[in-house]
Homo-oligomer: A and B are copies of this chain.
């Protein structure tokens, strides 16, 4: 049995407490796998006097990061303090002191992952961040090792538990957005300020990380297009449901001919899609590989102990590397300089809801507009005439390029028969004929 490996923890919030509990509770299992023990030697906190929900002797706590970063007995720094500036500098300092780093910090990895990886490799250090994407789901290892032999073409993720909880309530119970958000906050699934979640920024960070890994390229966070769920209309969700779709906030990453697109947007998923049944606060990542086909990894995307399992699995990997003497030698540099797809290289199906005048010839004008752009319809649903001689038309297109679809939107807005383009969303999967009965044509 080798001597213990000492860990220094930066931060003692939700995830940090989980890491301490997990390491304590699973000491025997860890020792069996590693041939040595693991102990948390010191913890950086803001306030050493604060009452905490994890038992830890105050002598282990410090408010000075140097106590940890300069401690020669500490081999592994676990960064679970969050934020970007400070943690970035601590981690760089850790690498320059030849310490390995495990982090759960998606903001940091999304912004500075590639440079931190370079610094790690240069110093022959390990840098792992499994917990930064989809909490307890081992998706980064799944892609990097489990599917290492394949060429990944598409990644779709439900990677934000808050919005998935809200959307589940909206989809399944017809609950308005504000009420669902309130309930998520009451249950601790949403923060007091939910901006980063509901506007899709949190999901975008995770998609940048996933996209880099899946396509071996250097996607920057600002290249991830983002649309959130704040403006969703329950009416659209009801129409979608009738047509066989369920609304999810989907992180989408696709690579074709070495060109990539990464975005986060509310998306209508066919109910038969593996991601469509991922409910409440759960996360899942769907990976389509050229050879393997459809795979999906499902589990808890947040929470103290689930996220801690990812952090401690990373610690296990670092310690195995220490014992084999191979730290800093396993990361693979990106293979490609990223090339983003142009709008005419991006393809999708779209759901579109139009408020139209209930006049003879309206539908004919709309359909010839789409016809000119070579966009054909998969589904058409017209609602009964509403007040003021207006009607709503719901269209679902077949695959079309984003540039064509954008042109269609512009032309629709100029069409006299169209009062308003009320909403449009991307559609994924094939809803088959689930509600063929409800289709009506003008």
Contacts and interface: CB of A to CB of B under 8 A. Distances in A.
Interface in A283-334: 289, 291-300, 303, 305-306, 308-313, 315-317, 320, 324-326, 329-330, 332
Contact of A26 (B151, B298, B330): B151
A22 B18 CA distance: 41
Interface in A212-255: 216
Nearest to A307: B292
Contacts of A148: 33, 312-313, 316-317
| Total copies of the chain | 2
Interface stretch (A52-60, A137-145, A157-165): A137-145
A358 interface: no
Contacts of A146: 130, 137-138, 141-142, 313
Given A292-B300, A300-B292, A308-B291, A30 B324 contact: no
A191 interface: no
Contact of A22 (B32, B142, B149, B294): B149
Contact of A147 (B30, B150, B313): B313
A291 B305 CA distance: 5
B298 A32 contact: no
B274 A293 contact: no
Interface string A164-200: 0000000000000000000000000000000000000
A115 interface: no
A221 to B, nearest CB: 24
Contacts of A324: 324, 326, 329-330
A295 B292 contact: no
Contacts of A329: 324
A320 B149 CA distance: 13
A335 interface: yes
Interface residues of A, number: 56
A434 interface: no
Nearest to A30: B149
A93 to B, nearest CB: 26
Nearest to A29: B151
A73 interface: no
B293 A299 contact: yes
A11 interface: no
A303 B216 CA distance: 26
A67 interface: no
A137 B309 contact: no
A416 interface: no
Contacts of A410: none
A136 B295 contact: yes
A277 interface: yes
Interface in A29-55: 29-30, 32-33
Contacts of A315: 149
Contacts of A145: 138, 141, 145, 313, 316-317
A283 to B, nearest CB: 10
Interface in A370-423: none
A325 B329 CA distance: 11
A296 B147 CA distance: 16
Highest count of chain B CB atoms <10 Å: which of A147, A149, A151: A149
A147 B25 CA distance: 15
A299 B33 CA distance: 28
Contacts of A142: 138, 141-142, 146, 297
A292 B306 contact: yes
Interface string A252-286: 00000000000000000000001001000010000
A317 B142 CA distance: 13
7 contacts: A25-B151, A141-B145, A150-B313, A293-B303, A294-B299, A295-B298, A296-B298
